[in-house]
Amino acid sequence: MVVRSLTQTVAICSLPLTAVRLPRKLSMDIWTFMWLLSTLTIGKTRIMPLTKIFEQSIYLATFLGAGFIFGQHSFNEIRTHFLTTYPSLDIPALQISYVDYLENIQSTSALKKQEIYFQDLAKALQAIQSKKLSKKDQIDYGILVYECELHLERIRLEKTWDPNTAVEGDKSIHHIPNGKAWYTYVLKRWVDKEVTPDSLFQFGLQEIEKVTLAMQRIQQRSGLDPNAFQARLQSPESFTDDATEIQQRFEKVHTTVTQNASRFFPYHEDLIPLRIARGTNSRLAHAPAYYQNNTFFYNLFDAPFNNRQYGWIYIHEGIPGHHFQAALREQNGQSPVQEMFWYGGLVEGWAAYIEQYGSELGANADLYDVYGKWEWDLIRSVRVCLDIGLNYYGWTEEKALAFWQKHIRNQDQIAHREIDRMKRWPAQVITYKYGAYIIDRLKAQASPKNESELKVFHTRLLALGDMPLSVLARYFDNL
């Protein structure tokens, strides 16, 4: 390796003032190189005292395998190094089950290697003047800072975990050692690193109040008293178990929505086609529908299908929801950094956010369809509080069920299913509500005054690709 200047040499000795790329094969080993540095002097002063040699040698050797030493360096080089090094750390993918997550915690040595890497990456990123980066680079920079902070928090927590701990999978994460701290981290990983359990619990209560009021207004518009309205909701004509009828009605909604979507969204007909099919995966029977591989699956297992759910389910899973978002992402492309991660807060938040346009898109046939959207929104709102109650505050199932019944009528069969889900899959259910809230807040800041301006807002948002909600909120106005 050639040291190009005395300034560079001094900088190497006082890391992290500069960065040096070390070839994987050196003509002299790292220890010889450090010894030569120790012989350099300015006048009679030795640049690097011998007592400092060992410390810096260890530092250099740690990163020699990766071929890079972080310091004050161009963002492009930091990013390039991240793209090649991160996969080599073999960090397990995010697990929806907290038990599966705990079972995949790595060895102490692996965690130490990761910790050193992310600590050094954090220092390198601090030296970057992010405001001078291009708009696309600012997104990658924001993601790297976000991931670095979350990974260091994860590592600190995982280093305390005893792999011999017995975990009861039918109990919430609150019951494991240091359960509140574990839930706080999982909440940040699923939703966003800026959130806290206490603030989200209050958010859930506010959403319950807002949604309940919207539902009461629809009941009043119906002209029926509360009891007659509830009887109408539970009547036989409100449900069906005819798969052919369900398929045809979803196809009809699809035709109507695609005719109207371009008014509010950057929709065009040459996007990847959406397929609609009946779901067959019983493991996903807890959800009314799901999206996978360009296909929107509706579920019809033991319970009949609720006829108030066609509109909001289609636009959530199909267009302009998950399918539309995924198709645009594939069409527009994302940076390699964005392709490495998935952020449920934005993905699920977008699909929940666009449900409010069901009537404008023609997905809602009548006020009962609109009510169906709010019915599920109320379930999502209640789940925010229940998830935190079960997993952070340590609520019993009985207390959780009582909270559910206080706010939701005639849905106890869903309550038991959802409580079990939240105990096994902590934090995931909160992504919908909080993500939609952040997007709504950004829209309020943009203040679109008509359909054209609303379409511009949606186009800008979708063009950015996937990222954490806090990164989106921080950079959206500048992108």
Summarize pLDDT for 306-363 with one digit per residue, the tens: 999 999 999 999 999 999 999 999 998 999 999 999 999 999 999 999 999 999 999 9
The predicted pLDDT at position 38 comes to 52
Q: HEC profile for 363-418?
A: CCCCHHHHHHHHHHHHHHHHHHHHHHHHHCCCCCHHHHHHHHHHHCCCCHHHHHHH
Mean pLDDT along residues 229-241: 95
pLDDT (tens digit, 9 = 90+) per residue, 185-220? 999 999 999 999 999 999 999 999 999 999 999 999
The pLDDT value recorded for residue 59 is 46
Average pLDDT over residues 110-126: 97
Which is higher by pLDDT, 44 or 143? Answer: 143
The terminus-to-terminus CA distance of the chain in angstroms comes to 40
In this prediction, residues 39-64 reach a mean pLDDT of 50
Please report the pLDDT score of residue 395 as a whole number.
98
Q: What is the mean pLDDT of residues 123-142?
A: 94
Q: Tokens 């017995």 — which residue?
A: 166
Give the count of alpha carbons within 13 A of 329, CB side only: 20
pLDDT of res. 65 = 42
What residues contact residue 47 under an 8 Å CB cut-off, 6+ apart?
A: 9, 10, 13, 37, 38, 40, 41
Res 105 pLDDT > 90? yes
HSE at residue 158, side-chain half, CA atoms within 13 A, is: 24
| Backbone φ, ψ for residue 291 (5° rounding) | -120, 135
How far from the centroid of its chain's Cα atoms is residue 439's Cα?
Answer: 13
**For all residues of the chain together, what is the average pLDDT?**
88
CA triple 138-144-145, angle to 5 deg: 90
DSSP string, 144-190: HHHHHHHHHHHHHHHTT--TT----TTS-GGGSTTHHHHHHHHHHHH
What is the predicted pLDDT for the residue at 433? 98
- Predicted confidence (pLDDT) per residue in 136-164, tens digit: 999 999 999 999 999 999 999 999 999 99
Q: Encode pLDDT of 389-436 as tens digits.
A: 999 999 999 999 999 999 998 889 899 999 999 999 999 999 999 999
Please tell me the predicted confidence (pLDDT) of residue 49: 55
Amino acid at 232: R
Decide if pLDDT at 90 tops 80: yes
Using CA atoms in the order 197, 202, 206, 209, what is the torsion angle rounded to 10 degrees?
Answer: 100
Where along the chain do its domains lie?
Answer: 6-64, 75-167, 197-478
Closest to 383 in 3D by CA, of 196, 201, 187: 201
Tokens describing residue 127 = 């030296």
Average pLDDT over residues 122-131: 95
- The residue-averaged pLDDT of 273-295 equals 93
The number of residues in the chain equals 479
Instruction: List pLDDT tens digits, range 258-276.
Output: 999 999 999 988 899 999 9
**Confidence (pTM):** 0.85
pLDDT at 179 over 90: yes
pLDDT given for residue 33 in this prediction: 52
Residue 320 pLDDT: 98
Are 459 and 325 in contact by the 8 Å Cβ rule? The answer is no
- Look at residue 27 in the predicted model and tell me its pLDDT: 35
Q: pLDDT at residue 1 above 50?
A: no
Asked if 19 contacts 124 with a C-beta cutoff of 8 angstroms, the reply is yes
- Spatial neighbors of 354 by CB under 8 A, at least 6 apart, are 265, 315, 316, 320, 321
C-alpha separations of 394 from 161, 184, 186, 198 in Å? 20, 13, 16, 13
